[in-house]
Amino acid sequence: TACIGGSSSWDGVTCVGGRVVGLDLSGRGLSGSLAPGLARLTALRSLSLANNSLSGPLPPEWGSLSSLVSLDVQRNNLTGTLPASWAGLASLTTARLNLNRLRGELPGAWGRGLGALSALDLSQNYYIRGPLPPDWRGLGNLTQLYVWGTGVSGSLPPEWGDGSAFRELQYLSLHNNTLEGRLPPSWFAADAFPRLRYLTLEQNRLVGSLPNVSASALLDSG
């Protein structure tokens, strides 16, 4: 986990105080699987492996990267489930996992551990299944949440509209899924999503009428 020469940087690698704090290997034509051994880079704050041909699962071991602030693995061929152990990424503010082949259910544990998360993009992972976790109401610092173009199903969690949840959320995209059922009244209460600017629900199986809401939000139950 040490860098030769103390504080330095070279192509794709940034070191501070003799430790690796940044890896940017995006668009390098990389293939193969993600290395579990990167969990040994305990000072790592930024990791970008976007726009490659990486495959295989997301390593559960990366859940120990407690200093990681930014993670970008979008536009690869990654498969497997979303590790519940990633709830240990307590410093993570940005996670871009979109445009892969991830599958399985959204881990409820993330809502109990990723309290610093501001932006999460899981869009266009067509094999993600199961419900939207009620426990994600604990992601109170989210400003952007993109879970469109997946296979998530079930009803919209009434808990997400709790006045104490998602106080910072501005962009919520849930279109092109298989969500169903009636629109929860809690989502349209006066104190729900106080900063919301953009909401997409089209191309689901939702039913019911929309209440009067602010014109600043795009609401389409499709």
Instruction: Band the pLDDT of 208: cuts 50, 70, 90.
Output: confident
pLDDT given at position 28: 95
What does the pLDDT average to over 66-89? 98
On average, the pLDDT of the chain sits at 92
Calculate the CA 16 to chain-centre distance.
Answer: 27
Instruction: Band the pLDDT of 214: cuts 50, 70, 90.
Output: very low
pLDDT given at position 201: 96
Percentage of the chain exceeding pLDDT 70: 90
Instruction: Band the pLDDT of 11: cuts 50, 70, 90.
Output: confident
Return the exposure string of 2-39: e unless at least 16 CB atoms fall within 10 Å of the residue's CB, then b: ebeeeeeeeeeebbeeebbbbbbbbeeeeeeebeeebb
Instruction: Band the pLDDT of 216: cuts 50, 70, 90.
Output: very low
Report the alpha-carbon distance of residue 43 to residue 165 in Å, rounded: 31
pLDDT given at position 163: 86
pLDDT given at position 18: 87
pLDDT tens per residue, range 94-136: 999 999 999 999 999 999 999 999 999 999 999 999 999 999 9
**Which one, of 146, 165, 169, lies nearest residue 157 by Cα?**
165
16 φ/ψ angles, rounded to the nearest 5 degrees:
-140, 130
pLDDT tens per residue, range 30-48: 999 999 999 999 999 999 9
pLDDT given at position 221: 40
Q: What predicted TM-score, i.e. pTM, was given to this entire model? A: 0.92
